[in-house]
Structure 1
Amino acid sequence: METIIREGSPKTPFVRLDGDNGVVEIKGRSIPENSVDFYKPIIDWLEKFGGEPSDETNVNIQLEYFNTSSSKCILDIFKRLELIHKKGNPVEINWYYEEDDEDMFEAGEDYQSIISIPFKMIEMEE
């Protein structure tokens, strides 16, 4: 499966989608002009990946900030991953947050309460 790497910018996160190794990474800030346009290729990739997922999928989310429209797209990503998980292919979600960032910690908890995949909450020192 094709690996996709998108370099981050001041408004968009770094993204790595590696189907051969079962890795999904999203890092940085997510405040794109149009979140749906930015995240659509990622969601499309996950739909294809869901047809032939890796034995295990590791998801690393390390966002310092995201806007409301990005939050909906991120939820859509988690819903695609949930479908993979429900098919019996393990998915591990690592949600990284800075030690003083209660908002980002709570955002991870909120997603975890919606999605039936356990999150590993990982505190990072600033």
Structure 2
Amino acid sequence: MKRLYIGPTKSTPEIDFDPEKNVLSIKGESYPENSFEFYNPIFEWLENYFNNLSDNKKVIFKFDISYLNTSSTKSIIFILDIIEEAYKNNKNIIINWYYDEENEFSYEIAETFMEDLNIPFNMIKK
């Protein structure tokens, strides 16, 4: 499977999904005009990746998001749903959520997401 890399822009985060290292990363701010259009290829890549991933492989998902608009929040929730489904299907997944203690948003949004997930979820201060 090919690596998925999308460089950051002013309104979209960097996406770096490396299937060889099993490290998936989303970093930056997300407020594109059309969130679904931006995230749709990411949803498809993730579903394909998890469908072809052997159960014993450890996957680290890194979120380092400083801002999300409403539609991006919905897209991240959908990504987390894909991850949770894979976790329920015996995939070894750990989520690392990086936050800046001076940016309350990044911590609070992670707490909100954590409430609805049953996946190992680490809060890591930058």
TM bucket (normalised to shorter chain) is over 0.9
Q: What is the aligned counterpart of 2:69 among 67, 76, 79? A: 67
Whole-Å Cα distance in 1 between the matches of residues 2 and 49 of structure 2? 9
1:6 aligned partner, one-letter code: I
Verify the 8 A CA contact 1:95 1:108 in the aligned structure 2: yes
Whole-Å Cα distance in 2 between the matches of residues 23 and 42 of structure 1? 14
Alignment match, 2:7: 7
Whether 1:87 aligns to 2:100 is no
Alignment match, 2:26: 26
Instruction: Give, in angstroms, the shift of residue 116 of structure 1.
Output: 1.2
| Moved beyond 6 Å, runs of 4+ | none
Verify the 8 A CA contact 1:22 1:53 in the aligned structure 2: no
Verify the 8 A CA contact 1:96 1:121 in the aligned structure 2: yes
Instruction: Give, in angstroms, the shift of residue 118 of structure 1.
Output: 2.2
Structure 1 vs Structure 2 CA RMSD: 1.0
Whole-Å Cα distance in 1 between the matches of residues 119 and 104 of structure 2? 21
Whole-Å Cα distance in 1 between the matches of residues 59 and 86 of structure 2? 9
Instruction: Give, in angstroms, the shift of residue 100 of structure 1.
Output: 1.6
Verify the 8 A CA contact 1:12 1:30 in the aligned structure 2: yes
Secondary structure (helix, strand or coil) at the match of 1:79 reads helix
Gapped regions of structure 1 (runs ≥ 5): none
Question: Aligned residue pairs: how many?
Answer: 124
Verify the 8 A CA contact 2:67 2:105 in the aligned structure 1: no
Percent same amino acid at aligned positions?
36
